[in-house]
Amino acid sequence: MDALTFATPLKKTPLGKVTTLLANELDLHTVGDLLRHYPRRYDERGHHTDIAGLAVGEEVTILARVKRAGVRSMQRKPGYVLEAVVSDDSGATLSITFFAQKRHNIEWRERTLKEGRTGLFAGTVTEFRGKRQLTHPDCVMLDAGDDSDAAVDEFAGALIPVYRASRSVPTWTITRCVRVVLDLLGTPPDPLPAHLREGERLIDLRTALHEIHRPTSWETLAGARHRLAWDEAFAVQVSLVQRKLRAATSPAVPRPRREAGLLEAFDRSLPFTLTAGQTEVGADLAHDLATPHPMHRLLQGEVGSGKTVCALRAVLQVVDAGGQAALLAPTEVLAAQHLRSIRALLGPLGRAGELDSADEATRVALVTGSQSAAARRQALAEAASGEAGLVVGTHALLYEGVDFADLGLVVVDEQHRFGVEQRDALRAKADAPPHVLVMTATPIPRTVAMTVFGDLEVSTLAELPMGRSPIATHVVPATEKPAFLDRAWRRLREEVEAGHQAYVVCPRIGGDAAPDDVAPGPATAETSGPGPGIRRPAVAVLDVAPLLTDGPLAGLRIGILHGRLPGDEKDAVMRDFAAGRLDVLVATTVVEVGVDVPNATAMIVLDADRFGISQLHQLRGRVGRGSAAGLCLLVTEAPPASPARERLDAVASTLDGFRLAELDLTLRREGDVLGEAQSGRRRHLRLLSLLKDADLIAQARRRAIELLDDDPELTGHPALAAAVASLVDEERAEFLEKG
Ligand code: ADP
Ligand code: MG
């Protein structure tokens, strides 16, 4: 038989029937899939699993020593029970039980469970009469005895790999399959070029695979992980840098600045002067748009830093050059709000065809799913004819067959979740790929930016416009100091009496809401609520609003806003609030991004511990957008010094979004870091940690740039080209699945 390659289907290996289980239960189909199914952890011979730490209900694989075992007949029913007691190094014990009708059916097992022997046991932890146990676990003994069940060959080394397993494929079955495949594997072509391996002192692929699955020592294992993490980082960076280079050479319609056009008129009409940062970003954008290659730029800046004005100026440059732009917002509320504020900023410049329009004027259209048929028809007509220089809408805008006369620029607002795949869908939209500007107010830690947005140029707006007021943030401990909560409502009232407006934010909508309306906060494990165990449901908009109306906020004009309201109702509420016809808005996180009502100066966040750090930072950005100082009160029942309370204290202690983003990153689980849209990327990053491997990622990027500089199409590096292609395929497949 020929040596195996990564592409060989497992069915074509001598593994036999188990390949069906591997495919069905663990999604492992090829030799490559199996070899990239790295162990989840390693147990060390002589160091048994900490038994006291096991929780009831947990699926576990433990390494333990047999203390005693014996068969007895059952007391109340016919049949026999084999009970073995196993222990760890501290002496904590767990019982292992098997039941059988006939004695000889368990006697063979009793023989394998000899006192003093060590084995691996896999099953679900249950509790019986106060004792924790595993019933009918899968087990395998590690040291040779008189039975044929011992996996002596499999576990020759001191480190025992433990894999993510399934009910019918326990971890040691995977160990055996991996050994068979490794023995038959030819020398796999190494995707990392030899000079890079030497320069970075990385071991070769074959050795790395052997060591990650069958490590000789912790040191060699570390070397293997490091090398394989490089594979992941390098493939991602090569693919992103390659995209960036391709974009830089692919054609696009240049949209250079025009003298005496709409943009100039707009700049003259602005009621404020641009900040130095805005001017600088403006120059970057103006330059990018003028080149015959598509711009791919990320503009990040704190909430209120004035990104929208920058984007609008880019839009006007494109309109001056004869093109159109689309502005995508993540929600209909935000789309509607953008329309309002952009129309206000443009004034007569945005009312072409109307009585008071300016000569250079264009039109701004809105396309949303919930608008009336007539409004939609008109908007579509204006987009198709080119009359509308700017079309505002949600992402649906791009997929729902909206036609543009000449789409030159797409601006994606507040879309942290906008991935490579969405950018691809976009490129298919115009004849020549449009210029793309992605804006985000969520400061993105460098490694995430590099891994998710690594194909974009990045601009940052660091300062806030003059006259922007600071936001004071305080934690209100509702349980220890109930009087503080009363005081909070009184403060909110005072703000309203002084002519301002306020938000009350709740984690949940309420009513007969499905549980999924809970805010996507951080992992529940670290969000300690009132106490361990069952938490009361989070405070809900629909419950809180009437309580406030009849209680502390009686007499104020209160509106509610949440994701389940129909689009036009949401829009009406936002309009009323923006126009000052409402004093207080009780809302969910729909106010998180971009909502801009400068007269709103106070925000009370209820059950604030249910939100993530970055989310709270975003939320409070809604107040202090005008000239009056902002106030944000974080109400919580989390006890002092709990992790939840520490997160809130952190938010209260600084307004530095970047610091909070880094902190958020260290507190979140790795899987949450990339977010929803990047699940494809996440699946590919098995060993690489965006938290811990920042240096490696930066180095991989430098190496990728260096390599592609010499060999942009990777013609001299076929193994690397294949690795990158498979990464891209995986992500594309994932995107298509999600529709
Ligand atoms: P972002 O989108 O970054 O959160 P916006 O562009 O919505 O910020 O700007 C927030 C507010 O600040 C808007 O009302 C905008 O008109 C105003 N603004 C923008 N730039 C300036 C500036 N240079 N000076 C004063 N106000 C500004
Ligand atoms: Mg904005």
Q: Ligand 1: does its nearest atom lie under 6 Å from the Cβ of 303?
A: yes
pLDDT band at 461 (very low <50, low <70, confident <90, very high): confident
pLDDT tens digits along 505-520: 999 999 865 454 444 4
Helix, strand, or coil (residue 139): strand
Query: DSSP assignment of 363-409, as one string?
Result: EEEEE-TTS-HHHHHHHHHHHHHS-EEEEEEETHHHHTT---SSEEE
Stronger pLDDT, 290 or 628, i.e. the higher one: 290
Pairing of strands 41-44, 159-162: antiparallel
Chain centroid, CA 85 distance in Å: 43
Please state the pTM of the whole predicted model. Answer: 0.66
Q: Ligand 1: does its nearest atom lie under 6 Å from the Cβ of 442?
A: no
The region that residue 91 occupies, defined by phi over 0 for left and psi between -120 and 50 for alpha, beta otherwise, is: left
pLDDT at position 684, please? 64
DSSP letter (8 states) at residue 186: -
For a mutational test of ligand 1's pocket, the pick from 272, 302, 440, i.e. the residue with the most ligand atoms closer than 8 A to its C-beta, is 272
pLDDT tens digits along 651-690: 998 887 777 877 777 666 544 444 444 444 555 677 887 7
pLDDT at position 409, please? 94
Stronger pLDDT, 70 or 421, i.e. the higher one: 70
Spatial neighbors of 422 by CB under 8 A, at least 6 apart, are 395, 677
Which of the given ranges, 129-133, 220-224, 664-668, 734-738, has the highest pLDDT on average?
A: 220-224
pLDDT tens digits along 621-630: 888 777 778 9
By mean pLDDT, which of 274-288, 378-392, 397-411, 698-712 is the weakest? 397-411
Q: What percent of the chain has pLDDT over 70?
A: 86
Which residues is 329 bridged to in the sheet? 394
Whether 218 has a pLDDT exceeding 60, the answer reads yes
| Cα(104) to centroid(ligand 2), Å | 74
Whether 157 has a pLDDT exceeding 90, the answer reads no
pLDDT tens digits along 365-410: 999 888 888 999 999 999 999 999 999 998 777 766 688 999 999 9
Whether 86 has a pLDDT exceeding 80, the answer reads yes
Whether 199 has a pLDDT exceeding 70, the answer reads yes
700 burial level (CB within 10 Å; 0-12, 13-18, 19+): buried
Nearest CA to ligand 1 atom 20: 306
Query: DSSP assignment of 47-75, as one string?
Result: B---STTPPTT-EEEEEEEEEEEEEEE-S
Which atom of ligand 1 is least distant from the CA of 273? 23
pLDDT tens digits along 99-127: 999 888 888 888 888 888 888 888 888 98
pLDDT at position 463, please? 74
Nearest CA to ligand 1 atom 19: 306
Whether 584 has a pLDDT exceeding 50, the answer reads yes
| Cα(415) to centroid(ligand 1), Å | 18
Residue 62 in contact with residue 92, Cβ under 8 Å? no
pLDDT at position 466, please? 62
Chain centroid, CA 690 distance in Å: 12
Which of the given ranges, 101-105, 595-599, 725-729, has the highest pLDDT on average?
A: 101-105
Q: State the greatest distance between any 2 C-alpha atoms of the chain, in Å, as a whole number.
A: 98
The residue behind tokens 């999924």 is: 516
pLDDT at position 302, please? 76
Q: What percent of the chain has pLDDT over 90?
A: 47
| Cα(308) to centroid(ligand 1), Å | 7
Which atom of ligand 1 is least distant from the CA of 303? 4
Q: Ligand 1: does its nearest atom lie under 6 Å from the Cβ of 309?
A: yes
Which atom of ligand 1 is least distant from the CA of 274? 23
User: Residue 629: what are its φ and ψ, rounded to 5°?
Assistant: -65, 145
pLDDT at position 460, please? 86
Which atom of ligand 1 is least distant from the CA of 310? 6
For a mutational test of ligand 1's pocket, the pick from 274, 596, 623, i.e. the residue with the most ligand atoms closer than 8 A to its C-beta, is 596
Mean pLDDT within 290-301 = 91
By mean pLDDT, which of 129-133, 219-223, 262-266, 634-638 is the weakest? 129-133
Residue 413 in contact with residue 327, Cβ under 8 Å? yes
Pairing of strands 630-636, 600-605: parallel
pLDDT band at 595 (very low <50, low <70, confident <90, very high): low
Q: Ligand 1: does its nearest atom lie under 6 Å from the Cβ of 441?
A: yes
| Cα(219) to centroid(ligand 2), Å | 49
Query: DSSP assignment of 330-364, as one string?
Result: SSHHHHHHHHHHHHHHHGGGGBTTSTT--TT--EE
Chain centroid, CA 385 distance in Å: 39
